[in-house]
């Protein structure tokens, strides 16, 4: 299992994945808006999205687990 973490404190701008979706390491699965810039958050491993812990518009801190890949 691999966790996907928020790189910065900010707002979830986009959720580009869903539970059950297969992803490959490096796929962009979230966009976090921080410091007036959009930061792409990539899948940290190959696998299937097991859980998504945030939704569009949620405020997140640095290192919050956005999703779990199994």
- Confidence (pLDDT) at 35: 87
Tens of pLDDT, residue by residue over 14-41, are: 999 999 999 999 999 999 999 889 999 9
The domain limits of the chain are 2-69
- Confidence (pLDDT) at 60: 98
Of the chain, the percentage scoring pLDDT greater than 70 comes to 100
Domain 2-69 of CATH type 3.30.70.860? no
Distance CA 55, CA 64 (A): 13
Torsion of CA 70, 25, 55, 8, to 10 degrees: 120
């Amino acid at each position: 299992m691999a966790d996907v973490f928020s790189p910065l404190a900010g707002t979830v701008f986009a959720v580009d994945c869903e539970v059950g979706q297969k992803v490959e390491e490096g796929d962009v699965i979230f966009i976090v808006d921080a410091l007036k810039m959009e930061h792409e958050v990539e899948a940290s491993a190959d696998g299937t999205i097991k859980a998504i812990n945030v939704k569009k518009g949620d405020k997140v801190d640095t290192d919050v687990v956005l999703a779990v890949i199994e």
